[in-house]
Amino acid sequence: MVSTLWLVGGGIVLYTLVAMALKAQGRLPEAIRVQGPITTIHTQRGKAFLNWLAGPKRFWRAWGNLGVGIALVVMVGSFALVAFAAISAVRNPTPTALNEPQNVLAIPGVNDFLPLSVAPEILTGLLIGLVVHEGGHGLLCRVEDIDIESMGLALLAFIPIGAFVEPSEASRNRASRGGQTRMFAAGVTNNFAVSVVAFLLLFGPVAGSISVVAGVPIGGSLQGSPARDAGIDRGTVITSVDGESVADADAMQATLAESRADSVPVELESGETVTVQREVLVTVAVRDAPIAVNETVTAVNGSRVSTVGSFEDAVQSRPVADLTVRNQSGTRSVQLPIGTYSLVAPDGALAGQTDLSGGETVIITAIGGNRTVDFDDLSAVLDARQPGDTVSVTGYVGGYDGERRTVEVDLGGSGSDAQLGVRVQRGVSGFVLDDFGVDVYPSNTFLTVLGGNGGGGLGGIERAYLTLVLPFASLTLPDVGYNFAGFVGPVTNFYTVSGPLGLLGAGFAFFLANLLFWTAWINLIIGQFNCVPAYPLDGGHILRTTTETVVSRLPVSNGRALTSAVTTTVSIVMILGLLVMVFGPRLLT
């Protein structure tokens, strides 16, 4: 099936061919100009309004000076950020979804992090950003008496990518360096101002009117899991399990862990009750594990098991067990050691006191006579010990077919933190088991970041940063697992609206929250990107004018050459850094 990216790319190529043919035949209006896939629409309208708005020049020059200071700080930060990211991409070229070609484009439905469900809000925020950005350039042009040739909209084929104000080159060159710098900084200043206003409205009255419903919000159920078979999926809110009310994910897990029942009744926020037939499903497995993801463990040494608790009970006294495993092809028997799957650290206590050199796989079945079935057991044993304690460690060196060995080890660590010197895989013997199979949606975390729940003690700058990375939360925030696109689709089931906004309806409140979120987000991106000190971005022009100002005060004979050398070098470094940051991880792996 053809991807959306290929469809958009094909449309751009077709558009370019048709537009270039019309241009060659002279059929395009004078106001429309085509250069390859880039189309610009020019207009003279709006000049009179800008002349009127530019009346209080002292105020606008003060606003422009504030913007110059902000832009310079962001420019330095952008340079450092891009340089650091490029160096990291070379040293540790680990591709992520952010490096996918389609995710470089801010196009809803094409970019994996910008879904079509919020396309109206994203496009509205983009339109606001483009208007205030180029409007700022136009306004400061008139404040600094710089003539405007034309204004208009720029498109990548049929996709709006920017607006523009085209100042007269001769008039701009006659303006002072300070005036030119203020004019170039005005666009990003306005973008940041829009972001601040949108954030204040979002963090204050809007998010304050939204609250999380009681229960466990389900972001999705695992393929082949008991929960999915029972019809529990994204958008479901669980309020009770096995007759016990559950206020959050921890309460639900505790209730499930205590129960050994083959099936449990689950009550939903909608009032419906469903029955979940539990099975022991493998959800995570190390690469060399003899049991794969989505397989089901049905018995231990011939005794049927249907819950993780009954599985752990069955293997508690069996360091080696025969597991009956079911998959789509049928059932099979797997014999393996049952313990904590670990990798020996080269500089740890275990390697330092044995003939192990580090990197070996060890399935640890007991420490100091205490059975270690899984990660939690091993952690509990070490928490009860002190650094320097001598313990016996029993395990299978070499993994599933390894040799059983018992060694005496003096625990390492510092303070009260005893360490064995191993890196431990969560779960049992290298695989994680689940007898229910749901992912919990972090509705409470997202709302707190956006200013709900009393704000959670977050500062303004910290909240702004977290809001900026919410669309990529699964990659940038630990233990979140979901990206936040807004209050859309099944996610709205997790929230309620009260107060004055509640009188207007939950749908309006969610739309307003989405609009403010994406307007703030898009304007921050536009402002930050345009501050990159490279041509033809605003940051490149600000770099030139500020460099000229500094160089003019230096005792050098050829200031123009020095200015060109500085600006060209910084621009080239930034462009190369951006290319390495985006494409380097995939090219270097």
Angle at 396 between CA 390 and CA 401, to 5 degrees: 170
Residue ranges and CATH numbers for the domains of the chain are 4-194+516-587 (no CATH), 204-211+442-514 (no CATH), 340-429 (2.30.42.10)
Residue 9 banded pLDDT, cuts 50, 70, 90: confident
- Write out the two tokens for 291: 């049991």
pLDDT tens, 308-319?
999 999 999 899
**Cβ atoms < 10 Å from Cβ of 490:** 15
Q: Nearest CA to 309 among 426, 438, 434, 429? A: 434
Q: Nearest CA to 222 among 278, 299, 281, 287? A: 281
Query: What Cα–Cα distance (Å) separates residue 211 from each residue in 214, 457, 499, 516?
Result: 9, 17, 11, 17
Residues with Cβ within 8 Å of residue 569, at least 6 apart in sequence: none
CA–CA distance, 74 with 532 (Å, rounded to integer): 8
Q: Nearest CA to 139 among 66, 231, 39, 54? A: 54
**Cβ atoms < 10 Å from Cβ of 123:** 15
CA–CA distance, 485 with 441 (Å, rounded to integer): 13
pLDDT tens, 280-289?
999 999 988 8
- Write out the two tokens for 20: 């270039």
Q: How far from each other are the two terminal CA atoms of the chain, in whole angstroms?
A: 27
Q: Nearest CA to 497 among 521, 514, 484? A: 514
Query: What Cα–Cα distance (Å) separates residue 125 from each residue in 8, 74, 120, 207?
Result: 21, 21, 9, 18
Judge if pTM exceeds 0.85. no
Q: Given a cut of 60, is residue 2 above it in pLDDT?
A: no
Q: Given a cut of 50, is residue 1 above it in pLDDT?
A: no
Which has more pLDDT, 453 or 248? 248
404 beta partners: 396
Query: What Cα–Cα distance (Å) separates residue 217 from each residue in 281, 435, 476, 497?
Result: 21, 18, 21, 16
Q: Return the beta strands (E) in 36-100 as ranges.
A: 38-43
pLDDT tens, 347-399?
889 988 888 888 899 999 999 999 999 999 999 999 999 999 999 999 999 98
- Write out the two tokens for 408: 């005496």
Q: How many distinct helices (H) and strands (E) make up the chain?
A: 19, 26
Across 356-368, b (16+ Cβ under 10 Å) vs e yields beeebbbbbbbbb
Mean pLDDT of all residues in 459-468: 80
CA 191 from centroid of its chain's CA atoms: 22
**Cβ atoms < 10 Å from Cβ of 139:** 24
Q: DSSP characters for 530-546? A: HTSSSTTSHHHHHHHHH
Q: For tokens 């390495």, name the residue.
A: 580
Cis peptide bond N-terminal to 536, omega within 30? yes
Q: Nearest CA to 199 among 421, 467, 455, 565? A: 467
pLDDT tens, 226-273?
999 999 999 999 999 999 999 888 999 999 988 889 999 999 998 899
Mean pLDDT of all residues in 14-34: 80
Mean pLDDT of all residues in 479-489: 88
**136-150, 293-307, 505-519: range with lowest mean pLDDT:** 136-150
Q: For tokens 């080239």, name the residue.
A: 572
Mutual orientation of helices 559-587 and 57-91 as an angle, nearest 10°? Answer: 50
**382-386, 508-512, 531-535: range with lowest mean pLDDT:** 531-535
